[in-house]
Structure 1
Amino acid sequence: MTNPLLPPVSHSPALQSTVSTDTQRLATRENLEQAGAQFESVFIGMMLKSMRQARLAEGLFESKAADQFRDMADQKLAQNMAVHTPMGIGKAMTEFLSRSQPQLAAPPEGSAP
């Protein structure tokens, strides 16, 4: 019995073809580490955005354009901080996710890759 309040579920081949079943790219340590670095970049970006929103006074030359350029600069700064001076949250996330997949565990310290 169908619910008249819910839209009908379509099982058309067109909709099924949009979902990728290829998960091979997810099973590498390199991709996991890259995802951790991107997560750290997003986290730092959110932190910078929150800091910018906590303004104590209005600036003399504030405008939407200046805010937009500042947001773009903050995004680049967050990416650079995640690569060059990481806080460690990306590494922690990578290690946490690798525990569920033993084949992606980090090699022991001092061993050759």
Structure 2
Amino acid sequence: MSSPVDTSAARSYTDFSGLGELRGKAQKDQNSALRESAQQFEGLFIQMMLKSMREANEPMKDDDNKSQALDTFEGMFDKEVSLQMSKRGALGVADFMERAVKQQQAPAPSTDELLKSRGKGIALNPKQQPIALPTAAELSKGFALEKALPLKSLNEFKSPLTGGRK
């Protein structure tokens, strides 16, 4: 039965030999080194989040659940959970960082390339079609309603507001 947890050698930000390997990898293949360092950053971020959550929960612990051994175990557990979560891309921080770094490394397009990519420009002063306005004779006739509404006297309008009083 296979385990869903990746049990391969974990590359951690605290593993100094792993950092040396990552530096060598960056000289050969920048994209894979960028991905790995972004994952390590996400792991560090998740671990700091878990640590903050545990510290916020500290006042709720009773004397039976407070010990240095338990704190050490929780720290190691949080580190392993954060590494596994970062490998799965749980929060997407690594993906975001990788895209941002690649965007910064990409050369800026020239003005000519930008203008060509825009296609047809928008006219600054486009010709406008005239709007037909009603004439004075048409306005004097009034507007036709779909169905005739009975006209009410002013008192009929006031009665709902005044409760029938005049």
Runs of 4+ in 1 over 4 A off after TM superposition: none
Give the 3-state SS of the residue equivalent to 1:54 in structure 2: helix
Aligned to 2:61: 58
Query: In terms of Rg, which structure is larger?
Result: 2
For 1:34 and 1:50, the matched residues in 2 are separated by: 24
Any stretches of 5+ residues in structure 2 without a counterpart? Answer: 1-23, 108-166
Give the 3-state SS of the residue equivalent to 1:100 in structure 2: helix
Report the CA distance between 1:100 and its aligned residue.
2.0
Q: Which amino acid aligns with 1:37?
A: Q
Aligned length: 82
Match of 1:41 among 40, 43, 59: 43
Match of 1:76 among 58, 62, 80: 80
For 2:47 and 2:74, the matched residues in 1 are separated by: 12
Matched, 1:97 2:105: no
CA deviations on 1:63-90 (whole Å, 9 max, x unpaired) are 0111011101100000001112521011
TM-score of the superposed pair, with normalisation by structure 1: 0.64
Aligned to 1:31: 33
Give the 3-state SS of the residue equivalent to 2:61 in structure 1: coil
For 1:26 and 1:96, the matched residues in 2 are separated by: 21
For 1:26 and 1:45, the matched residues in 2 are separated by: 29
Any stretches of 5+ residues in structure 1 without a counterpart? Answer: 1-21, 104-113
1:26–1:32: 8 Å Cα contact kept in structure 2?
no
Aligned to 1:10: none
Per mean C-alpha deviation after superposition, the further-off stretch among 74-83 and 55-64 is 55-64
Structural RMSD (CA):
2.3
Q: Which has the higher contact order (CA 8 A, sep 6+)?
A: 1
